Structure 1
Amino acid sequence: MQPLSELPRTVATGLRAIFCDIDDTLTTRGRLGAAAYEALWRLREAGLPVVPVTGRPAGWADPIARLWPVAGVVAENGAVAFWLDERGTMCRWYARSPKEMKADQARLLETAFRLVREHPPCRIAADQPFRISDVAIDFAEEVGPLGLDVADKLRERFLEVGAQAKVSSIHVNAWFGEFDKGTACERFARERLGLALDDGRAAYVGDSPNDEPLFARFALSFGVANIARFAGRLAREPTYVAAHDGGEGFREIADRLLALRAAPPAGPATRAKRSPAGRRRAAP
């Protein structure tokens, strides 16, 4: 990971969209602060659409897509995406049929309830009633925070029953299906924004192991400073890292991008041109 100060202007000016995590990336200690929310507006006004990509439930994605200055929302680690079309109508797509996802979720909840009995004081996440595909066990939001060793044990148990499982900064999320944040971002970028993830025109900002598929898929990625908590646990790390945690780190990244995009190109600002009279003059 390189310091954010080393981000070159050419990379910033080539950017066309930003995807980002929510918990502990846009938020700080569970709250969306004024600095991060204002950064979303400034990015939007500068022509850089932002797409939050979260493990939070589908039930949260609808109001975020309606009320925040964003181009859409990917929720439940890639299970569903929400966005407003040009007429302001809410649109969505699902990685699998909602009926199949709910049936698999019911089976997985049996495992989740067993695990929280085995690992007190973990508990089913408070936002579970608003989920349609996955289950979430809380180890650091309204309990603890407990150690990452506990989160790793929960994740391993979900893997043993054939589920996918990821550790975020607050939850262990598990689901059935061949999708994740990475596959959902590829689809949203292609279908909604006309972009690929591997050419530097789209970037990702995150903070935890469940963002690792995005750090691997995006040619350009950023971490907020609290990603240091997971040092040594990520096979793929972000390209650049901010000096501040959470929402302040996101604001720092936005500031750097916008400043570089507004700056004049480096090097001589003029070049000599020959006038019709044969004299050399500076280019206007």
Structure 2
Amino acid sequence: MKTKLSTSQIVVGIIAVTLFAVALSSFSSSKKTAESLDYPVQTTEVEMPITSEDGLRERVIVPFGETGQLSTLSLQVHGFEQANTISGVLHGTTQTKVDATFILVDMSVTNLTNSTFTLYPKGMLLSSREGVTYDIYQATSGGAIGYEKRAIDARNLGNGIEERGVLVYEVSKDFVPYALEIEKSGTNDTLIFELEKEEQEAEPQLLSYRIIETEDFSYAGCKRIGVRLVVPDESSKTDVNFTLKRVADNYINQWDDITIWAWGYSEEADVGASGFTKGMYETGSCS
């Protein structure tokens, strides 16, 4: 006995067959694509530093000789030295490359944690003011331990016990070291340990001077005076400028415009006959 299919049953059957065909086609396409990749896909992992919301780390300057605190230790820089060779127990004397030199940074560290740990200074970068950086010497093979007997690499640090040693860097001969750059773990801070004390600009000094001549240049109702004087030959430009301003103060109440020219003591005979050599100062209210 034959059973006649209803219209709805036919429609459902057509839909089912269509879906099966689409699935089979998709599987076949995926398999073909996978089989066509006859080499492994390689990916590169990039280790990114911790960044703030604006994408920049906070640089915290630690002036030379002061102590900076990292997450697990405190650190103080005592200075640095340059050398062409280093000497250690395991490797004897090591000569730097022809176009390079060693920089040894003298420092003290103190463990701030409750347990002993070993110091591995890889990532403690030596930097210049221009942003050039070097990692520690032999960073990929454990550091300078064995190459330099004073190296602090792989030193065991007990709680609260200060250890002193050097970090060794091999740098190009034209590299000028400025600081150690160390990222503080768990924060957005990079501590910048300066290697030298910043030179303070000296306060300007009032120089001894002799006024050689003065000249009245007054005209059109404006009282003008010119002053020619000499100062010590070795005077700095800063001190000369400071002195000329102080000399001008002596005339400011009697004159509208003041011009002062300076020569060295040894040039006294040439004052007025040749151009000034040490400096000039002008002030006044006349247009």
Higher relative contact order (CA 8 A, sep 6+): 1
Q: Which has the higher strand share?
A: 2
Q: What's the TM-score once normalised by structure 2's chain length?
A: 0.20
Larger Rg: 2
Q: What's the TM-score once normalised by structure 1's chain length?
A: 0.20
Q: Which has the higher helix share?
A: 1
